[in-house]
Amino acid sequence: MSLRERKAARKKEDILRSASLVISRQGFHNATMEDIAAELLMTKGSLYYYFKNKEELLYRCHDLILSDAMDKLESIYLEKISSTEKIKKAIKVHLDIAIREKEIFNLIVKPEQLFSEAHIESIISKRDKYSGIFDEIINQGVEKGEFIIKQKKMARMIILGATNWIQVWYSPEGDFSKEEIEEIYAEYLLKMLV
């Protein structure tokens, strides 16, 4: 990759970061291209130099965060620790991202309302892959006898639902630190599995 290309790649990332920020603040539907550009002191026209349209930009945004989440989750999955530890760590990581990227994470919820067919498939498949790791961890735990749960899919849904919800109420100024919250969530959700 040449210097030029690296610069362009960096700029693209900057834009995605800016987009994430604006979206987190205003929600996607209220985030205009102008807003996103303004955040970077650019003009909206310039965005189109890097992304062919708004959907593409949003898609990349979404993809970036989901990929990042995937990486973290996968490396937990590969660790040599008990399933109990794995699910706890997974919950914490998921909470962490859900707090940081709240709006983007919401895109994962209803991609149909925002993305056209061109992207929807890829998004859903990535989302399923992500959930799949949770399933795997739960499966292993059940096999090893660490977890006692019959409806494994449902348990995963409960876990993801509960953790995603955190965006709604979490505030850095709250009574508990992020770490404390993560610890409690992990502990409580684990009670459900054992």
Stretch that binds a copy of itself, among 48-56, 58-66, 79-87, 153-161 (CB under 8 A): 153-161
**33 touches which of a copy of itself, DNA, none (CB within 5 to 8 A by kind)?**
DNA
**53 touches which of a copy of itself, DNA, none (CB within 5 to 8 A by kind)?**
DNA
Which residue among 113, 145, 172, 173 contacts a copy of itself (CB under 8 A)? 113
**49 touches which of DNA, a copy of itself, none (CB within 5 to 8 A by kind)?**
DNA
Burial of 16 (0-12, 13-18, 19+ CB in 10 A): buried
DSSP string, 45-73: HHHHHH-SSHHHHHHHHHHHHHHHHHHHH
Size of the site for DNA (CB under 7 A): 23
Is 151 near a copy of itself (CB under 8 A)? yes
Which residue lies nearer to DNA by CB, 57 or 159?
57
- For residue 19, the tally of other CB atoms under 10 A from its CB is 29
**34 touches which of DNA, a copy of itself, none (CB within 5 to 8 A by kind)?**
DNA
Do the Cβ atoms of 104 and 65 come closer than 8 Å? yes
Q: Give the C-alpha distances (Å, rounded to integers) separating 171 from 60, 92, 99, 167, 177.
A: 27, 16, 9, 8, 9
Contact string (CB under 8 A) for a copy of itself, positions 24-63, x = contact: --xx-xx---------------------------------
CA 145/CA 30 separation, integer angstroms: 48
Contact string (CB under 7 A) for DNA, positions 38-67, x = contact: ---xxxxxx-xxx-xxxx------------
Which amino acid is located at 81 in the chain? I
Strands (E), the chain: none
Is 154 near a copy of itself (CB under 8 A)? yes
